[in-house]
Amino acid sequence: MVDVDTISKMVEGLANWVPMIESELDIMNSGKMGRPFEYCNSMIIWMMVISGYLDTTVRKISGLSNAIFSIIGIKGPSYNRFFERAMAIVGAVDDWLPGQ
């Protein structure tokens, strides 16, 4: 069970990420035709960091993150979309690391 103090710290931590998330989404959607992107890499990475910190499941971190995002006025991804994007980021990092 996550206590109120931990959630409060997570919300404060996310507040530092919000400008980066909004800026990244603006850049991703600049000149894009069609449906805009909703979830940027910095949002997914924030969720991955919190997931590692809390050592919890994808479904739980998605639900908790979405509750926290809603406090700040941001729509968060479903657990399935979070998992897909997190695995894509991990794969990209693995490909980038030397000697892999």
Contacts for 72 with CB less than 8 Å, ≥ 6 apart: 11, 14, 15, 18
Instruction: Pick 96 or 46 by higher pLDDT.
Output: 46
pLDDT reported for residue 2: 63
* pLDDT mean across residues, the chain: 84
pLDDT at 7: 67
Give me the number of domains the chain comprises.
1
pLDDT: is 22 or 81 the higher one?
81
Q: CA-to-CA distance for 92 and 43, rounded, in angstroms?
A: 16
Residues spanned by the domain of 58? 4-28+38-96
In a domain, 9, yes or no: yes
Structural tokens at position 89: 């980021």
Give per-residue pLDDT as tens, 31-75: 888 888 888 888 899 899 888 888 889 999 999 889 888 887 888
Q: For residue 74, is it within any domain?
A: yes
Yes or no: say if 33 and 55 are a contact pair by the CB < 8 Å rule: no
pLDDT for the residue numbered 86: 94
Residue with tokens 């590692």: 52
Q: Cα Rg for the chain, rounded, in angstroms?
A: 14
In a domain, 33, yes or no: no
